[in-house]
């Protein structure tokens, strides 16, 4: 086998193994986007608050975008992550659903109230959002602006 073919197989295997990297190789960008190596993955079907977004809780203003990101960091730390590849978005990010120990990170974030079902693109997480809303979990216990509305106004 030639050196070029070996190099191709080496880099191809790294690309395909990115779905199984440990959290030490994962960078959490915000509440709905991670990087596995050099591959940026935007969680499909959900939308989390923007990193600068502020919500109002009973104790006052809180950085709900940073809270959402930090919840995701806690969830992925020291765990294996696997992701589906559902194509690319307008910005060139891979769209997908990522899992830790078989649990959907998207479902977890929405069900705990730290992200929203992105109904414009999917109905997959609506029941999880309704659960969080009815139990006043996460952002549902605060005054907030939906991330898509926040982006339009900022």
SS3 123: coil
- Active-site option among 69, 93, 112, 119: 93
> Buried (b) or exposed (e) across 118-153, using 16+ Cβ within 10 A?
beeeeebbeebbebbbeeeebbbebebbebeebeee
Q: Is 93 a catalytic residue?
A: yes
Q: Is 42 a catalytic residue?
A: yes
Q: Are strands 94-96 and 39-43 parallel, antiparallel or unpaired?
A: parallel
DSSP codes, 70-104: HHHHHHHTTSBEEE----B-TTSPEEE-EEETTEE
- Active-site option among 42, 69, 107, 111: 42
- Active-site option among 50, 97, 112, 129: 50
What are the catalytic residues? 42, 50, 93
């Amino acid at each position: 086998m030639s050196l070029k073919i070996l190099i191709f197989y080496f880099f191809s295997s790294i690309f395909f193994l990115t779905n199984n990297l440990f959290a030490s190789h994962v960078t959490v960008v915000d509440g709905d986007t991670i990087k596995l190596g050099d591959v940026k993955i935007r969680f499909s079907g959900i939308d989390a608050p923007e990193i600068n977004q502020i919500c109002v809780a009973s104790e006052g203003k809180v950085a709900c975008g940073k809270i959402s990101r930090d919840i995701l960091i806690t969830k992925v730390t020291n765990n294996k992550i696997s992701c589906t590849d559902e194509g690319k978005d307008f910005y060139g990010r891979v769209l997908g659903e990522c899992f830790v120990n078989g649990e959907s990170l998207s479902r977890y974030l929405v069900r705990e109230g730290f992200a929203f079902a992105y109904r414009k693109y999917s109905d997959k997480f609506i029941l999880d959002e309704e659960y969080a809303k009815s139990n006043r979990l996460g952002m549902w216990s605060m005054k907030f602006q939906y991330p898509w509305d926040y982006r339009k106004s900022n």
